[in-house]
Structure 1
Amino acid sequence: MFKSVEFKEETTLHIFTECIYAKAVWSLSGLPLITHGFNSFAQWLDFQFKNLEKGSCCLLLMLCWKLWTARNDKVWNGSLPSPSTLVEGSRRYLANWTNIVREDTATSIAKNSSVHKWDKPSSGFYKLNTDVAVSTLNRSMGFGWVLRNDTGQFVAAECIPGKGVFTPKEAEAMAIREALSWIKREGITHLQIESDALEIIQSLKQNDEDSSCDLILLDIKDLLRSIHHVAISYVSRTANVVAHSLAREACSMSVRQEWISVPPSFIVNELYSDLN
């Protein structure tokens, strides 16, 4: 485990370029960076953008994001990945994200549309969509999920309010776990699951370890193993609007609410739109 013992002024320039941990990350990244002689992080970033090729700029941004995530994980959970783990994970995530963007683009061109819409599941299957919304003002979260059959007919949905604010990855994982717990209790099989949480889907498919939410991911994997004929995949936000509306509504609720057969009025228009 990499440990830092520095106690310097907490500036963005220090966080991203001057601390021991950041220096180790940039050294392992292989990027030809100039890291000294800058008065601000914005100046440092602007200089790198002007001197790096497009692919290197993408990796630079990914590493900055992962550095910030790792720092938050250290503050809130006391864990910090090694610099080499962070760099390798960033490269893998960037490659996967690039592939998904390419696939989404190809699909959009094939359909002559830049907007992805919800699709009915395969014959004999149900489709479960999940999402999470966060209210930083009220320090609360909302989980939402919706279940539809192979004709697109509404089957069930739930709004689940939550206290506190977790990392986006933890919150998205919790939303999937809550939905699958209901699915298991109801004994539903032949299930296609969709979420717009790219990083969670990647972690589940690649068996990635993530100290910030590895226990939640293990719960999800156990639930998936208990369901016959199940698949989980990433979907764009535009194909996940009903689940997002449920999650957003859950943020303003004090108790969870469940609907069976008859949907709540605030998602009726979106359910109809998904079918047309």
Structure 2
Amino acid sequence: MSVFGVKAMALNMLAEWRRAMETPQPRSGQVQANRSWHKPPSGWVKINVDAACTLGQGVIGVSCVVRDDAGHFVRARSNVMRGSFHPRVAEALSLKEALYWTKEWRTSKFIFESNAKLLVEAVQGTRGTSYFDTIAENCSELLKHFDEVLLVFNHRSANQVARVLARAACSMSGLQEWISTAPDLIACNLAFDDI
């Protein structure tokens, strides 16, 4: 397992432990609530990434949303890409876009969070020779440009802000970027995560 894999596994275990300490355990017969977004540790920023595929339209939307250790919106970016891609390839392209966008910042410690478990595993482990594997390998190489970085998996329910933005990107004209002020279409999701 790579250094990134060990770090990500340790961070996931820490996050699970924290959630277990904060969330009351369900009684027998109760369904456990969906998992929610959590602020990154002090001094870190969290970047949620996602992709949305539109069947039959030949486009995908990719997005990333950046929040600081207080949970405040920092910036976001979305883009629409032409082509019919398998969902896992779309997720990989979304991560790759986010890594390219943020690699020059070098001002913070970064946690990239994706709800695509296969992607996180492929970036952190061994890969094959498919197009998806090639993008995952490229993402792994891009991660080396960061001083302190983690790539972690989290459930879809903890990634709603990026998901909403990725879906909206499919109907946008191209690259969109927001700095300091979040777009209205994700404001409700940001407020919900802040509760």
Q: TM-score band (shorter)?
A: 0.7 to 0.9
Change (3 A) 1:238 1:214: same
The question of whether the paired residues in 2 share the 8 Å contact of 1:188 and 1:227 is answered with no
TM-superposed deviation, 1:248: 0.3
User: For structure 1, which segment, 259-268 or 179-188, has the greater mean C-alpha deviation from structure 2 after superposition?
Assistant: 179-188
- Looking at structure 2, the residues matched to 262 and 254 of structure 1 have their Cα atoms a distance apart, in angstroms, of 20
Unaligned residue ranges in structure 1 (runs of 5+): 1-99
Output one character per residue of 1:167-187: Cα deviation in whole Å (capped at 9) or x when no partner: 111111100000111101333
TM-score (norm 1): 0.59
TM-superposed deviation, 1:159: 1.2
The question of whether the paired residues in 1 share the 8 Å contact of 2:60 and 2:82 is answered with yes
- Looking at structure 2, the residues matched to 252 and 123 of structure 1 have their Cα atoms a distance apart, in angstroms, of 36
Q: Which has the higher contact order (CA 8 A, sep 6+)?
A: 2
- Which of 124, 127, 132 lines up with 1:213 in the alignment? 132
Q: Describe how 1:43-62 pairs up with structure 2 within 5 A.
A: none
**CA RMSD for the aligned pairs?**
2.0
- Looking at structure 1, the residues matched to 101 and 107 of structure 2 have their Cα atoms a distance apart, in angstroms, of 9
- Looking at structure 2, the residues matched to 121 and 210 of structure 1 have their Cα atoms a distance apart, in angstroms, of 34
Residue 273, structure 1, aligned to residue 192, structure 2: yes
- Which of 145, 153, 178 lines up with 1:226 in the alignment? 145
Output one character per residue of 1:224-245: Cα deviation in whole Å (capped at 9) or x when no partner: 0000110111000000000001
The question of whether the paired residues in 1 share the 8 Å contact of 2:49 and 2:65 is answered with yes
Q: Which amino acid is the alignment partner of residue 204 of structure 1?
A: V
Q: Which amino acid is the alignment partner of residue 170 of structure 1?
A: V
Change (3 A) 1:188 1:162: farther
Q: Which amino acid is the alignment partner of residue 130 of structure 1?
A: V
- Looking at structure 1, the residues matched to 130 and 63 of structure 2 have their Cα atoms a distance apart, in angstroms, of 24
The question of whether the paired residues in 1 share the 8 Å contact of 2:79 and 2:169 is answered with yes
Q: Which amino acid is the alignment partner of residue 173 of structure 2?
A: S
Unaligned residue ranges in structure 2 (runs of 5+): 1-11, 25-31
Calculate percent identity across the aligned residue pairs.
34
Match of 2:3 in 1: none
- Which of 166, 173, 178 lines up with 1:247 in the alignment? 166
- 3-state DSSP of counterpart to 2:93: helix
- Which of 19, 23, 38 lines up with 1:111 in the alignment? 23
TM-score (norm 2): 0.83
TM-superposed deviation, 1:206: 1.8
Match of 2:98 in 1: 179
The question of whether the paired residues in 2 share the 8 Å contact of 1:130 and 1:195 is answered with yes
Q: Give the structure with the higher percent helix.
A: 1
Match of 2:179 in 1: 260
- Looking at structure 2, the residues matched to 245 and 144 of structure 1 have their Cα atoms a distance apart, in angstroms, of 9
Change (3 A) 1:141 1:188: farther
> What is the aligned length?
173
Output one character per residue of 1:82-127: Cα deviation in whole Å (capped at 9) or x when no partner: xxxxxxxxxxxxxxxxxx9xx97xx679723421000000100000
- 3-state DSSP of counterpart to 1:186: coil
